[in-house]
Amino acid sequence: MSRVQLEIFFGMILITITGAILIFLGINEEQRMAEFDKFQAAQKIEVGAELYEINCRGCHGLQGEGVLGLAPPLNDAYFFNGRLAEVGWQGDLEDYIIATVSTGRQVSTRPEQYPGAGTPAMPTWSDRFGGPLRADQIEALAAFIINWEATAKGEVELAEIPSAIPGIEDLDDPLARGLALYNASGCAGCHAITGISVGAVGPDLTTIGTTAAARVEGYTAEEYIRESIINPSAYIVEGYDDLMLKTFVETISEGELDDLVAFLLAQE
């Protein structure tokens, strides 16, 4: 067999092998794309779960069960089957969640049940409207919430606003207890402290131990911080809305309040 014939022979073999590979890939492409889409969706839900933990659990509950007198459940059958009809929403649930999270809610639609933390009832979260979250992050949040549909219960029992932080009594350091309270009470979802939290709905608290002394004439830093926790509407930092929960005075003990104040005073 001549060199030319050998080249033709091996060329035909390569073409045959390449064609077989392409056919194999083509046959499995639909399955591969479906698996890729499933992987992408799972990643999106995972990101949404982290964002929910940081930003939403304080008002809507750890498992989306809602908090009595504060915010409605997101993990109940009515949210998936009746909420859109109640508010007259013409789009799908994903669009509704994205729109509500993005722009917030100026007035509660059920003020007799869920007045919210203040006015507006729910803060704006989209960075397009001055909030802290990007569009892709809000889409991830929506994906996480929609993921509850398959297991959503008929009527959930609303959680009480927590009055104790599990395990906090085991901490010896008051600053450690204060940090635990800061995270568990939802403060981290609205406030930023460098290296600790990234909330942007409320004022940055990175140096609150120093700046608090200059906020209100005649108040020490400790007095200002304490007053801001037990009576958050008393002094509103310029550029921010009156959104902070008004129930901390009812849900944390005097000792817990002291620990939280001590922790914030240490942020210099």
Radius of gyration of the chain measured on its C-alpha atoms: 26
Residue written as tokens 């092998």? 17
Instruction: Judge whether 129 and 103 are in contact, CB under 8 Å.
Output: yes
Tell which phi-psi region holds residue 69, choosing left (phi > 0), alpha (psi between -120 and 50) or beta: left
Question: Residue 247 is encoded by which pair of tokens?
Answer: 């129930």
Q: pLDDT (tens digit, 9 = 90+) per residue, 171-203?
A: 788 898 888 888 777 787 778 899 888 777 789
pLDDT beneath 50, residues of the chain: none
Domain boundaries, the chain: 1-161, 168-265
Question: Residue 23 is encoded by which pair of tokens?
Answer: 């056919």
Asked if the domains 1-161 and 168-265 are classified in one and the same CATH topology, the answer is yes
pLDDT at 96: 96
The CA distance from 33 to 243, in Å, is 44
The CA distance from 109 to 100, in Å, is 12
Buried b (16+ CB within 10 A) or exposed e, 77-91: eebbeebbeeeeeee
**Domain 1-161, CATH:** 1.10.760.10
The CA distance from 141 to 217, in Å, is 41
- 198 to each of 61, 98, 180, 216, how far by Cα in Å? 19, 21, 16, 25
pLDDT at 4: 66
The CA distance from 142 to 47, in Å, is 10
pLDDT at 156: 66
**How, if at all, do strands 192-193 and 197-198 pair?**
antiparallel
The CA distance from 18 to 24, in Å, is 10
Superfamily of domain 168-265: Cytochrome c-like domain (1.10.760.10)
